[in-house]
Amino acid sequence: MIKIKQTILSVSLILLLTGLSSWATSPKKIIYRAYISVDMQLWRAVIDSLHAKANKTLEQELELLNYEYGYIGWCLSQKKKQVVGTYLKRYNARLSRLTSDQVRSLRSAYRSAYYGFEIGLSKIKAPLLGPKSIREAEQSVELDPKGWLGYVQLGNIDFYKPSLFGGSKGNALKYYLKAEQILLREGVNQDWNLLSLWAQIGLTYEALNNPKNAELYYRKALNAEPQFKWVRDELYMNLKKKKLR
């Protein structure tokens, strides 16, 4: 019975990736499903399939870059540094090919993240790459004040930078809330970026000793997507346990 289920899953994955290779199947829906279920094997299969597609449009390159950005971030959180190194090279190469002026703000935001990923791989790079990451994030916001990703990068910088070196969870929260405001105004639906942002805002409120607002954001994420496993089974569950102590 188990072997039959595994065979069905394998066949389904092959059919899925065949459709993805031509972008006939919506990658966004599959990535969303992979994100809420923490199925990073599926996420990786999707980006590998999309990467193999020749003659991608600018929009497709940007879409794939976003999925690589998410996957690399997850790998770093799981200490999978060897995997990060492989995908970071691909990410950087894709980023370098985006020379169109119309994507300058996004390019700067993703470049800021790239420097952050490099620091995640090796903390000794922080003095050199930290200022570059900040500069790119600030430039992203200057180029497009309505671009949410630049604010997310500014938030990440303040969240993860030690307070000794100027990091501030309070400032991070302001940037995250600005990014949320922009995303909601855009009317995004079933998007992994928004769910991820809500989770991060919840974590930031926890870091600021504000469990009430942390719970509000975890509930917001679960109201939008009840099957959001990371928040449902880990973040929100842990917060409720803390409240019982």
As for how many domains the chain has, the answer is 1
pLDDT tens, residue by residue, 202-225? 999 999 999 999 999 999 999 999
Amino acid at 91: Y
Task: Tell me: pLDDT of 8 over 50.
Answer: no
- Residue 149 belongs to a domain: yes
Task: Tell me: pLDDT of 9 over 60.
Answer: no
- Residue 18 belongs to a domain: no
- Residue 1 belongs to a domain: no
Which CATH number goes with the domain that contains 169? 1.25.40.10
Q: Distance (Å, rounded) from C-alpha 193 to C-alpha 71?
A: 12
Q: Distance (Å, rounded) from C-alpha 98 to C-alpha 120?
A: 24
- Residue 36 belongs to a domain: yes
Q: Which residues contact 243 (CB under 8 A, 6 or more apart)?
A: 211
- Residue 85 belongs to a domain: yes
Residue 21: pLDDT band with limits 50, 70, 90: low
Domain assignment of residue 155, given as a range: 24-244
- Residue 137 belongs to a domain: yes
- Residue 5 belongs to a domain: no
Torsion of Cα atoms, 153 then 38 then 233 then 6, to 10°:
180
pLDDT tens, residue by residue, 124-165? 999 999 999 999 999 999 999 999 999 999 999 999 999 888
- Least Cα distance to 67 among 85, 90, 44 occurs for 44
- Residue 207 belongs to a domain: yes
